[in-house]
């Protein structure tokens, strides 16, 4: 507020309010250990694709400190194990509530889930809308950015990767 030269009754509590929001909402993932989120796996005999769709979260651009909105979709093929689906959504949220670039976030999620679920493969699509594209330079309100990431057989098998891509993009 000092840098902006603003000091009036309306903004008296703003620094405290903003600090609280940043700590509790926007970057709480920085202080969470993702390893604590998916602790227990359950056994499954399924070897077929499972898709968890429309995980709505937000993240923050580390370059401009502007939030961006995300819709995450996660596909995986189990290899003996699965986890609670809400745990998977919680995992995405803990990864997202940080200062992180979109494509790095996609990597973090796919790497973490691949390791923790011991899955045959994991594929992630992040659909996003960026504050940076709206509030600086030419406002581009309608622009969305998609980032994919693949691990396991999805990374190695081009056909499987194409199928996962199509599956994740299906509305």
Q: What residues line the site for Zn ion (CB under 5 A)?
A: 61, 63-64, 132
Q: How far is the CB of 19 from Zn ion (least distance, A)?
A: 21
| Of residues 64 and 140, the one with the C-beta less far from Zn ion | 64
**Dihedral of the alpha carbons of 49, 54, 55, 59, in degrees to the nearest 10:** 120
Residue 138: CB minimum distance to Zn ion, A: 14
Shortest distance (Å) from residue 99 CB to Zn ion: 10
DSSP 99: B
CB atoms within 10 A of CB 57: 21
- By beta-carbon proximity to Zn ion, the closer residue of 59 and 82 is 59
Closer CB to Zn ion, residue 51 or residue 66? Answer: 66
**Three-class SS string for 27-91?**
CHHHHCCHHHCCCCCEECCCCCCEEEEEEEEEEECCCCCCEEEEEEEEEEECCCEECCHHHHHHH
Q: Which is nearer to Zn ion, 9 or 137 (CB)?
A: 137
Shortest distance, position 104 Cβ to Zn ion, whole Å: 13
Q: How far apart are CA 92 and CA 29, in angstroms?
A: 10
């Amino acid at each position: 507020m000092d840098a902006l030269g603003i000091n009036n009754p309306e903004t008296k509590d703003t620094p405290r309010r903003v600090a609280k929001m940043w700590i509790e909402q926007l970057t709480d993932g920085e202080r969470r250990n993702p390893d604590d989120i998916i602790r227990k796996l359950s056994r499954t005999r399924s070897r077929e694709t499972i898709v968890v769709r429309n995980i709505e979260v937000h993240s923050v651009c580390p370059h401009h400190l502007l939030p961006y909105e995300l819709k995450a979709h996660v596909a995986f093929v189990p290899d003996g194990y699965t986890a609670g689906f809400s745990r998977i959504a919680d995992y995405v949220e803990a990864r997202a509530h940080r200062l992180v670039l979109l494509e790095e976030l996609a990597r973090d999620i796919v790497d973490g889930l691949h390791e923790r679920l011991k899955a045959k493969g994991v594929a992630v699509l992040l659909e996003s809308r960026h504050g940076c594209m709206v509030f600086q330079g030419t406002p581009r309100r309608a622009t969305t950015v998609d980032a994919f990431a693949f691990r396991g057989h999805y990374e190695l098998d081009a056909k499987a990767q194409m199928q996962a891509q199509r599956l994740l993009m299906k509305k």
